[in-house]
Amino acid sequence: MDAAEYGQRESMFIEEFALMMEREGLPRMYGRVFGYLLVCDPPWQSSAQLADGLNASRGAISTATRALVEAGFIQRRKLPNDRSLYFEIHRDTLDRMMHGSVGRIRIARELSERGLALLAHRENVDRERLQAFRDLYQFMETEFPRLLARWDEKRRETP
């Protein structure tokens, strides 16, 4: 694959990644920055490098990197003898994000149970949708930590 074809494929990957994150409720630029940081070389990039690589304004990059740092998706990095600030994805970012999902799953289950308690006092109300929602999150609250434990074990076995 020549450099031009690689560049096209890289751009397609970044845009597809951005669209995926946008479907999850994040601004597309956040996804573009995150996607770029997944495939760039070196794996840390300055704001200027991100702006150049993504053909984006420095303001858009600044907003995206600030939000991604605050959310824990990326981290700042300083290099020795370099005054610039760089951004990178820490190796354990996805693991931390997935472990954080356990709490969100619990909150969704608890909220659905409060909704069911609210509906318990009303007659002739269809509870099926809310019950299905609660059942899914109750299942996920039990099974997702087990899945993450298996993943953690696999990560410890693989360097």
Angstrom distance (rounded) from CA 50 to CA 69: 15
pLDDT per residue as tens digits for the range 67-123: 999 988 999 999 999 999 999 998 788 888 888 889 999 999 999 999 999 988 888
Residues 8 and 80 in one domain: yes
Domain end call among 62, 88, 114:
88
Which letter does DSSP use for residue 88 in this model?
E
What is the reported pLDDT for 156? 87
Which of residues 57, 73, 88 is at a domain's end?
A: 88
If phi over 0 gives left and psi between -120 and 50 gives alpha, with beta otherwise, what is residue 25? left
Domain tally, the chain: 2
Please identify, among 35, 59, 88, the residue that sits at the C-terminal boundary of a domain.
88
Q: Are residues 21 and 59 in the same domain?
A: yes
Domain identity same for 127 and 148: yes
Q: What is the pLDDT of residues 3-62, one digit of tens each?
A: 889 889 999 999 999 999 999 899 999 999 999 999 999 999 999 999 999 999 999 999
The verdict on pTM exceeding 0.85 is no
Across the strands, what pairs with 88?
44, 75
| One domain, residues 123 and 141 | yes
Claim to verify: residue 104 and residue 149 sit in the same structural domain: yes
Domain at 21, CATH number: 1.10.10.10
Q: List the domain range (segments joined by +) for residue 146.
A: 93-157
